[in-house]
Chains A and B, each alone.
Chain A
Amino acid sequence: TQLLEQSPQFLSIQEGENLTVYCNSSSVFSSLQWYRQEPGEGPVLLVTVVTGGEVKKLKRLTFQFGDARKDSSLHITAAQPGDTGLYLCAGGGGDSGYALNFGKGTSLLVT
């Protein structure tokens, strides 16, 4: 299993603050995906990063894929209560590459 380490595990911040969430691995991924999950629901895709060094923006969220395609980060600018949720990174794995393994997630609370 290609291990994905996410940090921090928990984050509690005030509205308006900035934050960064990290997803690291010793393995190289062809792509990484970021999902957001709200209580009682399944995760929903935020973004897929494919190219090393790639930066993607989704409103106040900025996603970056490391040059070596082993790590990724999610930066939120001016966090809002609506950003509260569990943020998960996911990458392909398994012998066939069809498996998709997730990190343990970062639980974000914005008050």
Chain B
Amino acid sequence: QQQVKQSPQSLIVQKGGISIINCAYENTAFDYFPWYQQFPGKGPALLIAIRPDVSEKKEGRFTISFNKSAKQFSLHIMDSQPGDSATYFCAAVIIQGAQKLVFGQGTRLTINP
């Protein structure tokens, strides 16, 4: 019940295209859903996050869509650029709990020029 399932494992998108990464969770107690971006040789860094009381959050070319009833959320990268090539992790946390981040398995995104 603590798992967050992420797909696909890897994704190749042409420059200018839309990259979509999906995640699903079971524990309805999760109430904060961040996405982390990791470049080779670096630690993950927070990209964007959403609370389940909104269905969408947009920051620049990055958008999180959230479906509370389906217990699913996704990251959309519009106009994908080669610099977006990285590994993306979705995560979930219970804010008022011990704040233990549970990560998905990660998606390795490659944007072809």
A and B assemble together: no
